[in-house]
Chains A and B, each alone.
Chain A
Amino acid sequence: DSGVTQTPKHLITATGQRVTLRCSPRSGDLSVYWYQQSLDQGLQFLIQYYNGEERAKGNILERFSAQQFPDLHSELNLSSLELGDSALYFCASSKTSGLTDTQYFGPGTRLTVL
């Protein structure tokens, strides 16, 4: 158990809908990262928050947004969902965002868009 929790575990929804994925980082970790893993793909970095502020942005679609709250949990909002958004979404956390900071991953949320 990495100490990072993600809810829900599974989510099935229809095209055009909006969903919210939630992540609670390990105790004491200030950085939260979101990744997307589509079929046969590596983990694609979406966005990073550090202590409530956006720190880095990857290939995140405009239909997606995220935030980190004062209690350091984070939410990833996906809207106007398309079939291609079906994927595993992982959250990771680390103490800071330094070079050698290890990222600890949650178990992921499997999103299926029908």
Chain B
Amino acid sequence: DQQVKQNSPSLSVQEGRISILNCDYTNSMFDYFLWYKKYPAEGPTFLISISSIKDKNEDGRFTVFLNKSAKHLSLHIVPSQPGDSAVYFCAAKAGNTPLVFGKGTRLSVIA
């Protein structure tokens, strides 16, 4: 049973436009959420996180939104750049329990 779901396996966006990556979760105990980016032949790299006490966290071009009632979070990248092309993983945890990852969304930013 997948507790963290990324329903879009892939997404294509034009350079300069907004990329929106979505993630749904089922475990209401999750209280911390993260996004990781992964390039081929490399390990995942931490991008941005959000605690369940917030509904938005921003870091430069990256903003994560959390909707607890819908058990949904999204990552917005504005403006998208070709270097953002990668696989993005959503992850969640409850307290000090291990991270639970989604299957990832492959983002392609087209110049």
Chain A residues near B (Cβ < 8 Å): 2, 4, 33, 35, 40-45, 48, 56, 58, 90, 92, 97-100, 102-108
Contact = CB atoms under 8 A, between A and B. Distances in A.
Contact of A4 (B43, B98, B104): B43
Contacts of A103: 46, 99
A42 B95 contact: no
Given A42-B6, A92-B43, 9 more contacts: A2-B43, A42-B4, A42-B104, A43-B89, A44-B101, A100-B49, A100-B51, A105-B43, A108-B42
B56 interface: no
A105 B97 contact: no
A97 B95 CA distance: 10
A104 B43 CA distance: 9
B46 A40 contact: no
A45 B101 CA distance: 8
Q: Is the interface of A mostly helix, strand, loop or mixed?
A: loop
What bracket does the count of chain B residues touching chain A fall in? Answer: 20 to 34
Nearest to B93: A99
B43 A106 contact: yes
Given A42-B4, A42-B102, A99 B89 contact: no
Contacts of B89: 42-43
Interface in B33-51: 34, 36, 41-46, 49, 51
B43 A107 contact: yes
A31 B44 CA distance: 17
A2 B45 contact: yes
B62 interface: no
Interface in B89-111: 89, 91, 93, 95-104
Contacts of B102: 42
A45 B99 contact: yes
A21 B69 CA distance: 41
